[in-house]
Amino acid sequence: MAMADSAEIPGAAACPACVATDPQETVARIRAASTERLMLSLPGIADADAMMAAERALRGVEGVREARVNMTMKRAAVTAAGTVTPEMLVAALTAAGVEAHELDAGTLAATQTDRTGRELLMRLGVAGFATMNVMLLSVSVWAGAEGATRDLFHWISAMIALPTVAFAGQPFYRNAWSALRRGSLNMDVPITLAIVLTIVTSLYETVQSGAHAYFDATLMLCFFLLAGRYLDHRTRAVARSAAEELAALEVARATRIRDGAEETVPQAELAVGDLIRVRPGARIPVDGVVAEGSSELDRALLTGETLPVFAGPGVAVSAGEVNLTGPLVMRATAVGRDTSLHALTDLVAIAESGRSQYSSLADKAAKLYAPGVHILSALAFAGWLAGTGDLRVALNIAAAVLIITCPCALGLAVPAVTTAASGRLFRRGLLIKDATALERLAETDIAVFDKTGTLTLGQPEAEGFAALDPAMQPLAAGIAQGSAHPLAMAITRAADAEGVAPAPVEALREVPGYGIEGRWQGQVLRLGRLGWTGGDGAEAQGTATWLRLGEDQPLAIGFCDRLRPGAREAVEGLKAQGLEVQLLSGDAEPAVRALAESLGIATWRAGMLPAEKAAHVQALAGAGAKVLMAGDGLNDTAALASAHASVSPASALEAARVASDMVLLHADLSAIPEARATARKAVRRIRENFRIATVYNVLAVPLAVAGLCSPLIAAAAMSASSITVSLNALRVR
Amino acid sequence: MEILAILIPASLLLGAVGLAAFFWTLKSDQYDDPEGDARRILSGEYDDKPKQDD
């Protein structure tokens, strides 16, 4: 196969030397040439030793050519021959004690290096270089250089400044142009105007051997503003790549059965009518009907129910449900955008349009600021023109006003604070996906939680095990060992915790969809659904499974859902901050009531449909409340999207993570009240920064309008305000 | 003042060298993993020769 391929490689045939070489060598070269880039997620990498151990383990795998761990992203990029599979790499890393997951390189656009960020950094570097040089020349001019020397320095400054401004300022020109074409004003319009006007008047002054040229101030303006842009971009890029990574962790493949043979295909290629095999533990890829096999399904992410439901031939299943016990073969009835997973997308899109109307603090400032600056500068121009009749003086004054008022510090005021705050929250395991999410989070006054998967882990705990007859406990532990069903595993955990040794149960057999059967001292022992174990037991409250020995009465083992770590702290913390906490769940009433009472949540609703949740959130918003929604399931997506701010755990369904502004990377919920406190602090700093920038303007503008502003004063005011604003932002950390 | 004819080009040239070095660091992906690179330098692993590019 490889030999046949080799003959078709034009490069090999075209080079005469290759023809003469041993065919074996050619094959080896082609194998080596077919390199693949694999990406792995290494969430546990925390220090240099772990990083080195991971790289060593990866390089030890046969066929790996290069492996490099990126600690900032907690990822490993591996270049390897085509024979290496991600499973081999994950196995090697696990053996070395490093947690690793395969990443879908297709979903991960960030495998190419971040081009926009690099472009901004390049412009920032050029602007910095030019600023330093021109500033040195300006210092001599301010120090008293006169006549020909001053003109020479101005000319050299112009030669440096012109190409720099043309190259480094491009992001501003582009944004300003697109804003003007839409007929609106943004921060970039006064920036562009200031840059262009000061460069033109300074050039004119230089030609006329004038005393004042603002090349240094213009370049400094570019430099500080680009620094703000770069910070802003970086914060968002980190969040975006982490969010992409969560999506890439779910490698979307399905097993299709065609003509009796199984093949693994991407989910996107499935068509209606395809037969699909779903193994235990796998997620159902598309909507369909069960054709063969029986099992149980976990629908917690879709409906919020904790109790698994039965699935057998003829039962309709939806994309997103998890198959628990037995293998299923299903026939697809709806794929892609028609599945129930996507049915809520429209609802989400409608809900989100409300949030997009939110205007950030920076936008509000720009709206006040941009027209004000233009009017002030135009008035100064008109006043001086009328007063002196000298066009050159009037233009100079107008340029001075523009450069002094230019929102240099304003351009840094928001990005510097959000970078500091997002960095702090990222270290606590909270990912801020949206640029304005912090500001919106700070405004929230009602917190609405989902139950299953958000306040609880969606992982059952066998609380009824301890209440079981001590003679039966070893039997329950023994039979539960035979299954990977979540309820059976909960019993095994409970037995371990109680120190119960499992009894030797023989002939263990799992009956998918019903339970487990075994033999103990010649008697049949069954653990499973009441209808299957037989006998009559009173219908238990909440989630339960039944244990029956021979013809005895079946015994109920009750389960409760485990509380997520930090759930209590989160609810109490939010209450302490003066928020009202509510609980909305699709689960049955007793479970919801028990949880609400144990956490001290006064307002709760059970059995809610997805649309009802969204309607509830919208009703609260309609009454003037700003809702913080936390949820993880498909049934929460519309509510997450319509809330003022939203957060979902990393275990949530992708649709829910996409709909929310923030993602919790750790299991711990207590980061939520902390995030809100940090957000409030950040908003306070942003407002302070605006005030600081305004104070500098108020001090310097009268000088500029009066014509007393020299390039020295402009440069000093600009750098002083930018540095104060950045230092103030660092206080958030 | 003739000294300026040497000093100004010299200072610009030195600045340009710095800028070129910055471009090089940018092109060779040196800003991709600041945290990892900061710790890599402290690793206890030593080698006798540079890694081979095969």
Q: What is the ipTM of this complex?
A: 0.82
Q: What is the pLDDT of residues A559-579, one digit of tens each?
A: 877 788 888 899 999 999 988
Statement: residue A370 has pLDDT above 90: no
Smallest CA–CA distance from B51 into chain A, residue: A66
Could you tell me the pLDDT band of residue A711, with boundaries at 50, 70 and 90? confident
Contact A152 B39 (CB under 8 A): no
State residue A11's pLDDT score.
41
State residue A109's pLDDT score.
52
Statement: residue A13 has pLDDT above 50: no
Q: Looking at the DSSP assignment, which residues form a beta bridge with residue A77?
A: A39, A68
The catalytic residue positions of A are: 450
Average pLDDT, stretch A587-604? 85
Q: Does A121 touch chain B (CB under 8 A)?
A: yes
Q: Does B2 touch chain A (CB under 8 A)?
A: no
Could you tell me the pLDDT band of residue A3, with boundaries at 50, 70 and 90? very low
* Shortest CA gap A108–chain B (Å): 16
Q: Which positions ≥6 away from A139 have C-beta within 8 Å?
A: none
pLDDT > 70: percent of chain B: 89
Q: Which residue has the higher pLDDT, A598 or A261?
A: A598
Q: How far is CA A202 from CA A157, A195, A467, in A?
A: 10, 11, 87
- Contact between A407 and A363 under an 8 Å Cβ cutoff? The reply is no
State residue A160's pLDDT score.
93
pLDDT > 90: percent of chain A: 11
Average pLDDT, chain A: 80
State residue A104's pLDDT score.
67
Q: What is the pLDDT of residues A224-262, one digit of tens each?
A: 889 888 888 887 777 767 666 666 666 567 788 887 777
Statement: residue A103 has pLDDT above 80: no
**How far is residue A242's CA from residue A194's CA, in Å, rounded to a whole number?**
37
Chain B interface, mutation test: which of A114, A118, A167, most B Cβ atoms within 10 Å?
A118
DSSP assignments along chain B, one per residue: -TTHHHHHHHHHHHHHHHHHHHHHHHHTTTTS-HHHHHHHTT-S---SSPPP--
Q: Does B21 touch chain A (CB under 8 A)?
A: no
Chain A residues close to B19, C-beta within 8 Å? 125-126, 129
The most confident of the ranges A182-191, A300-309, A518-527 is A518-527
Statement: residue A4 has pLDDT above 60: no
State residue A203's pLDDT score.
92
State residue A168's pLDDT score.
93
- Contact between A680 and A689 under an 8 Å Cβ cutoff? The reply is no
Q: Which of A113, A149, A160 minimises the CB distance to B32?
A: A113
Q: Which residue has the higher pLDDT, A471 or A134?
A: A134
State residue B7's pLDDT score.
87
Contact B26 A125 (CB under 8 A): yes
State residue A363's pLDDT score.
77
Average pLDDT, stretch A676-685? 91
Chain A residues close to B29, C-beta within 8 Å? 113
Smallest CA–CA distance from B25 into chain A, residue: A122
Nearest Cα to Cα of residue A216 among A687, A643, A714, A585 = A714
Contact B35 A47 (CB under 8 A): no
Q: Which residue has the higher pLDDT, A538 or B25?
A: B25
Statement: residue B54 has pLDDT above 50: no
Statement: residue A1 has pLDDT above 50: no
| Size of the A and B interface in Cβ pairs below 8 Å | 56
Q: Which residue has the higher pLDDT, A442 or A586?
A: A442
- Contact between A588 and A556 under an 8 Å Cβ cutoff? The reply is no
Statement: residue A608 has pLDDT above 60: yes
Could you tell me the pLDDT band of residue A19, with boundaries at 50, 70 and 90? very low
| Span of A90-104, A195-209, A473-487, A538-552 with lowest mean pLDDT | A538-552
Chain A interface, mutation test: which of B6, B7, B12, most A Cβ atoms within 10 Å?
B12
Statement: residue A612 has pLDDT above 90: no
Average pLDDT, stretch A659-688? 87
Residue given tokens 């950094």 in the structure block? A121
State residue A122's pLDDT score.
92
Q: By three-state DSSP, how is residue A246 classified?
A: helix
Q: Does A28 touch chain B (CB under 8 A)?
A: no
Average pLDDT, stretch A258-285? 79
Q: Looking at the DSSP assignment, which residues form a beta bridge with residue A283?
A: A322
State residue A130's pLDDT score.
93
| Span of A63-72, A183-192, A277-286, B42-51 with lowest mean pLDDT | B42-51
Could you tell me the pLDDT band of residue A351, with boundaries at 50, 70 and 90? low
Statement: residue A346 has pLDDT above 60: no
Phi and psi dihedrals of A580, rounded to 5?
-90, 135
Statement: residue A298 has pLDDT above 90: no
Chain B residues close to A70, C-beta within 8 Å? 32-33, 36
Q: Does A47 touch chain B (CB under 8 A)?
A: yes
**How far is residue A76's CA from residue A55's CA, in Å, rounded to a whole number?**
8
Sorted by where each starts, the structural domains of chain A and their CATH numbers stand as 2-111 (3.30.70.100), 115-242+361-417+681-730 (no CATH), 253-343 (2.70.150.10), 428-456+563-677 (3.40.50.1000), 459-562 (3.40.1110.10)
- The verdict on pTM exceeding 0.80 is no
Chain A interface, mutation test: which of B19, B28, B46, most A Cβ atoms within 10 Å?
B19
Q: Which residue has the higher pLDDT, A527 or A634?
A: A527
Smallest CA–CA distance from A123 into chain B, residue: B23
Q: What is the pLDDT of residues A315-329, one digit of tens each?
A: 888 877 888 877 888
State residue A111's pLDDT score.
42
Chain B interface, mutation test: which of A71, A134, A135, most B Cβ atoms within 10 Å?
A71
Smallest CA–CA distance from B5 into chain A, residue: A152
Could you tell me the pLDDT band of residue A541, with boundaries at 50, 70 and 90? low
Q: Does A17 touch chain B (CB under 8 A)?
A: no
Q: Which of A72, A125, A156 minimises the CB distance to B33?
A: A72
Q: How far apart are the first and last CA of chain A?
A: 59
Q: Does B31 touch chain A (CB under 8 A)?
A: yes
Smallest CA–CA distance from B4 into chain A, residue: A149
